[in-house]
Amino acid sequence: MSGGSAGRDWIATRGTALRGELVVPGDKSVSHRAIMLASLADGVSRVEGFLEGEDARATEAIFRRLGVRIDVPGEGSRVIHGVGIDGLRAADGPLDCGNAGTGMRLLAGLLAGQAFDSVLVGDASLSRRPMRRVTVPLARMGARIDTDEGGLPPLRIQGGNILQGIDFESGIASAQVKSAMLLAGLYARGTTTVREPHPTRDYTERMLLALGWPIEFSPGFARLEGGHRLQARDILVPADFSSAAFFIVAASLVPGSEVLLRRVGMNPRRTGLLHVLRAMGADIREANPGEQGGEPVCDLHVRHAPLRGIEVPQAHVAEMIDEFPALFVAAACASGATVVRGAAELRVKESDRIATMATGLRALGVQVDETPDGATIHGGGALHGGHVDSHGDHRIAMAFAIAAQLAEGDVRIGDIANVATSFPGFDTLARGAGFGLAMA
């Protein structure tokens, strides 16, 4: 992906059976949080396995502008000279979150409690994403954040307000919303509690605890109080399950495939796709379980197996929210129908992922019935070549690169430059494993 510019396309064609040992890059969620929390800690933290993707680097650049020294001793390494919980200083202009919803929403909470004003901006995709989900509950804590009409970025965050902890029952299962509230809670008087309708990834909670901030949490629940400090600590970032997911699905689908994915992050709030693929008949084995940076990791051994459609259990939706583009492709190649419900959040990701996947799959000959909160994908027919538009959405582009490995003709995938936001080097790794994939 290096050097890709906006509007670049891929031509993806059927390759060979997928083979080999693959190491995917570091976790995007953990990389964002490592920069943020190590910056606020007392002392120097070393981060290894940092994702060299545009999203995490945007957050890194923001913290430099907020006065944090961050050294880069080598690829995937950062040395962060923490400034302490009250040590950030005003930047000299708007802070650019790039494509990253995680960066913008978490920073909304973190910056609402500072003594100075900040402005958060993003790219065209991020500028269309809803921010009221964080600005409304943060306002209940006393934050003052202006948005553009419709609750859209930029976020103009007023500093110098005294925040008050609240007990917040979130209507949306969103780790970004939960994390924004908890990060504001660091600066609030009293106790901040967040309750979720379905448990979401708990990296903010785990990392706060690892850096010494007292916090109580369990699936769907988190509580902390303001007024403590964070201690610097080295952070080892596990490989991103969501990046591994593309190879898990591809190896399951392409006949003759057998791949080993090394040291993949297995946080239980992230691995919903494994439950669903196994229920569809996938052959995925876990080996060498261990721990890396306080997170469970293991090697995943994936072999081709015929898949059958299922109704995706709603209990797993939040735990696989980033994996639906890949799952839609698995469903298109599975026998029978796959039904997705309760996944309306997909409509407000980097693109409307229900619509972009449905449109793209139809262009390859797959019947997809859309609903407001999901879709029914009628799998098992042949996929043909065609032209699909990723709408600048990294995960849509990678999902269609998989679909092309099963298609009977070339698939042109439009607007792939944003793959670099989460998975730099995807095309090189995929080609090495057996994918047919080239720049147009």
Binding region for ligand S3P (CB under 6 A): 29, 102, 174-176, 179, 200-201, 321-322, 345
| Nearest-angstrom CA–CA distance, 72 and 46 | 10
User: Shortest Cβ distance from residue 208 to ligand S3P (Å)?
Assistant: 14
Exactly one of 123, 322, 389, 427 is catalytic; which is it?
Answer: 322
Q: Which residue is nearest to ligand S3P (CB)?
A: 29
User: Shortest Cβ distance from residue 390 to ligand S3P (Å)?
Assistant: 16
For ligand S3P, which is the closer residue by CB, 274 or 321? 321
User: Shortest Cβ distance from residue 127 to ligand S3P (Å)?
Assistant: 16
Pairing of strands 258-265, 19-22: parallel
For ligand S3P, which is the closer residue by CB, 108 or 433? 108
Q: Is the dihedral of CA 69, 291, 224, 342 positive or negative?
A: positive
Q: Select from 24, 6, 15 the least CA-distant residue to 403.
A: 15
User: Shortest Cβ distance from residue 21 to ligand S3P (Å)?
Assistant: 26
User: Shortest Cβ distance from residue 382 to ligand S3P (Å)?
Assistant: 32
- Please give the structure tokens belonging to residue 315: 């209990």
Amino acid at 5: S
**202 catalytic, yes or no?**
no
User: Shortest Cβ distance from residue 32 to ligand S3P (Å)?
Assistant: 6
Would you call the peptide bond into 154 cis, given omega within 30 degrees of 0 as the criterion?
yes
For ligand S3P, which is the closer residue by CB, 7 or 171? 171
For ligand S3P, which is the closer residue by CB, 175 or 416? 175
| Nearest-angstrom CA–CA distance, 141 and 185 | 9
Given a contact cutoff of 8 angstroms between Cβ atoms, the answer to whether 203 and 266 are in contact is: no
Give the H/E segment covering residue 74. strand 69-74
Q: Give me the DSSP letters along 144-193.
A: EEEEETTTEEEEEEE-SPPPB--EEE-SS--HHHHHHHHHHHTTSBSEEE
User: Shortest Cβ distance from residue 52 to ligand S3P (Å)?
Assistant: 17
426 Cβ neighbours under 8 A, 6+ residues apart? 1, 243, 246, 398, 401, 419
- Please give the structure tokens belonging to residue 234: 């080295």
Q: Select from 403, 402, 409 the least CA-distant residue to 423.
A: 402
User: Shortest Cβ distance from residue 218 to ligand S3P (Å)?
Assistant: 18
User: Shortest Cβ distance from residue 260 to ligand S3P (Å)?
Assistant: 25
Number of C-beta neighbours around residue 279 at 10 A: 15
Q: Is the dihedral of CA 406, 407, 409, 410 positive or negative?
A: negative
Query: Count of residues for the chain?
Result: 440
For ligand S3P, which is the closer residue by CB, 9 or 295? 295
| Nearest-angstrom CA–CA distance, 138 and 127 | 19
| Nearest-angstrom CA–CA distance, 380 and 336 | 6
65 Cβ neighbours under 8 A, 6+ residues apart? 91, 92, 95
- Please report where in the chains the tokens 């964002």 appear, as a residue: 32
| Nearest-angstrom CA–CA distance, 57 and 77 | 12
Given a contact cutoff of 8 angstroms between Cβ atoms, the answer to whether 333 and 308 are in contact is: no
Active site residues: 322
